[in-house]
Amino acid sequence: ASGIGSIVTSIIGTEKNFRSRSSRVSYKNHQLIRLYPNSQEHVNDLKELEKSESEDVKFWTEPMYNRTTDVVIGPDLVSDLKAFLRYKGIDFKVLIPDLQKTIAHQNPKMTKEQRDDLVTTNGHSMTWKRYHRYGEIVKYLEYLALRYPNIAEVITLGHSYEGQPIKMIKISTGTNKDGEAKPAIWIDAGIHAREWIGSAVATYIVSQLVEKNSSYAKLLDNTDWMILPVVNPDGYEFSHTGDRLWRKTRSNHADDEDDSRFLQLVNRYTRWLWGKCEGVDPNRNFDYHWGEVEEGGASLDPCHETYAGPRAFSEPETKAMADYILANKQNIRVYLTLHSYSQMWLVPWGYTDTKPSDYSELASVAKKAIGAVTKIHGTDYQVGPSADLLYPTSGASDDWAKGVAGIKYAYTVELRDRGRYGFLLPASQIVPTAREIWAGIKTIARLVICNT
């Protein structure tokens, strides 16, 4: 066989290295590599590589023309892959030489004693100096509701696949002078399990609005806030305990009754072949043009990272969130969903590359928001339509919020960074990221709700 043929075979042939589900996944000697394709042929080569769906080749960003692509490579493939790239003339750079080391350093450890001390002195253990477990986040919300009962209320939207309560906090100083509910801003995060920075930013915003409420009297006078820091608690916890790079929910639909017997058999076979195919991509599971875009944007294969699920709202997490939003849609003026990474303020649509008729209004508000973001620490954000700037996707929450719930100002915010650490953003960047995003969100609140 020719040299290149055997490299491709060895890349495609690595499915044998299934990870065992019971133990924690290690990324020892896995490398994060940035690729610089500069022709359509390069992009096609990379798409071919992506299609191999090997456990040892994981794309963090889609291969696209004139765009860089970040990919995680398992230790057995690193040298073959580099040979392949050199042979194809695709430039690359190693961003992280050993992912496990970066994982180990990302989140400073806290002992039980330290946590107990924090609870004794502060009433909760949140620090914004580290990423916290779901239980700590929920306890924080409950602490606030107890300590600030006049403005903070914890609402259980439903339960996750594994039975964890999905809790959000509603922050409101009450009705307006006419006794009506105020216009509200919705913020969610943690749709994708591994994107820890989003949930940390969400709880930071909660802390500002509640614990520093006297500094935000005017903002609270005009606006209610509905903040859901972790949409996908099962995935979030699994990214702490099982696989740091887990993205999806933790459901298993192999035995669903409403699937056809044929699909069941196919699913069972792929599961047997691939080992681990749990979970649905919650951000492909919303009921708006669900399952439409297959090319790169959403997959109907349960083993894939962007599996859209067996049907729209198959996941209790997306269903619970959507039901609450629908029940309150007449008050919600702004829908914001926090993701990472790439520093973008994305405007609908994702499912099509045509723009909504009010696109220019949404983009102009977003541009003012990123102006405010950049002022804080100089961090650059890009504004643009999802399908263009990122890649086409169907069934994402922002499209649904605008298309079905009718919330005009719907955005997906892709937080820091641009790939130096990617999903493994060090905890030391929580506060700077949160401060700049909070500036952007306050600007949106003023523009959309207060008209100033």
Binding mask 363-402 for ligand ARG (x = CB under 6 A): -----------------------x---x--x--x-xx---
Please give the DSSP secondary-structure letter assigned to residue 328: T
81 DSSP 8-state letter: H
- Rounded Cα distance, 106 and 114, in Å: 18
Span 277-296, contacts to ligand ARG by CB under 6 A: 283
Q: Which listed option, Zn ion, ligand ARG, none, makes contact with residue 399 (CB within 5 to 8 Å by class)?
A: ligand ARG
H helices present in 212-260, as ranges: 217-222, 233-241
Comparison of 283 and 299: residue with beta carbon closer to ligand ARG: 283
Q: Tell me: does residue 339 bind ligand ARG (CB under 6 A).
A: yes
From its phi and psi, is residue 431 left (phi > 0), alpha (psi between -120 and 50) or beta? alpha
Collapse the DSSP code of 338 into the 3-class scheme (helix H, G, I; strand E, B; otherwise coil) and give the result. strand
Rounded to an integer, what distance in angstroms lies between the CA atom of residue 249 and that of residue 228? 16
Residue 161 or 341 with smaller CB distance to ligand ARG: 341
* Structural tokens at position 212: 């520093």
Return the one option of ligand ARG, Zn ion, none that residue 396 interacts with (CB less than 5 to 8 A, by type). Answer: ligand ARG
The tokens describing 446, both together, are 């003023």
* 197 vs 239: CA distance, rounded Å: 13
Taking residue 147's Cβ as centre, other Cβ atoms within 10 Å add up to 12
**Which of Zn ion, ligand ARG, none does residue 49 bind to, with CB < 5 to 8 Å depending on kind?**
none
Find the binder of ligand ARG among 412, 429, 433, 443 (CB under 6 A).
412
Q: Supply the minimum distance, in Å, between the C-beta of residue 206 and ligand ARG.
A: 22
- Based on the shown chain and the rule CB under 6 A, indicate whether residue 299 belongs to the binding site for ligand ARG: no
Does 248 participate in binding Zn ion (rule CB under 5 A)? Answer: no
CA pair distance 246, 220, nearest whole angstrom: 36
Paired sense of beta strands 332-340 and 57-59, if any: unpaired
Q: 238: which 2 tokens?
A: 């699994």
Q: Which of 192, 248, 289, 304 binds Zn ion (CB under 5 A)?
A: 192
Q: Which residue's beta carbon is nearest to the bound ligand ARG?
A: 350
C-beta of residue 191 within 8 angstroms of C-beta of residue 133: no
Q: CB-wise, 126 or 390, nearer to ligand ARG?
A: 390
User: Does the protein bind Zn ion through residue 194 (CB under 5 A)?
Assistant: no
- Binder to Zn ion among 333, 339, 402, 416 (CB under 5 A)? 339
Q: Who's near 79: CB < 8 A, 6+ residues apart?
A: none
CB of 400 to ligand ARG, least distance (A): 9
Stretch near Zn ion under the rule CB under 5 A, chosen from 317-325, 333-341, 427-435, 444-452: 333-341
416 is a site residue for Zn ion (CB under 5 A): no
Burial class (CB in 10 A: 0-12, 13-18, 19+), 363: middle
Binding of Zn ion by 240 (CB under 5 A)? no
Q: Which residues have C-beta within 8 Å of that of residue 222, sequence separation ≥ 6?
A: 182, 183, 445, 449, 450
Annotated active-site residue 315? The verdict is no
Comparing CB distances to Zn ion, the nearer of 250 and 339 is: 339
Q: Which residues are known to be catalytic?
A: 414
- Residues of this chain that bind ligand ARG (CB under 6 A): 283, 339, 346, 350, 386, 390, 393, 396, 398-399, 412
